[in-house]
Amino acid sequence: MSIWRSLQSIEQLNGNRRGTLIENLGIMFTDIGDDYVRGTMPVDTRTAQPYGLLHGGASVALAETLGSTGAAMCVDTAEYQVVGQEINANHVRAARSGLVTGTARAVHLGGRTHVWSIDIYNDAQKLVCISRITMAVIKLGALAS
């Protein structure tokens, strides 16, 4: 059974990247299942730290992109929006090249908060990073400008 309330297509998600961090880091949405959203990010000069390894912050950016996108698709966007409250990440293996692929799955979908777990793997299907993000569900327009 699908968890989505405001499902977007891969084309729509990738079309919304223009002029954002998501585009600058080369993050691409690749798959949406009944209970997950998946995307890739290159390990290249945009995402590497000075030692030539995938920057931990880039992994966190991929994790937040996938988790927040999933959370946004789980609410009625005519009434609610989601914003990040907390994110953490454990970097368990270095990546030096290729693509990393992240998959975000909901752990908790409540009325006020969502918790998502994001696993990021390298091209050899070895775990690079595991992350968890907590999202606040708020009324649309509740954020002060």
Active-site residue list: 64
Q: Which long-range contacts (CB under 8 A, 24 or more apart) does 46-55 make?
A: 52/96, 53/94, 53/95, 53/96, 54/94, 54/95, 54/96, 54/100, 54/128
Chain mean position to CA 139: 22
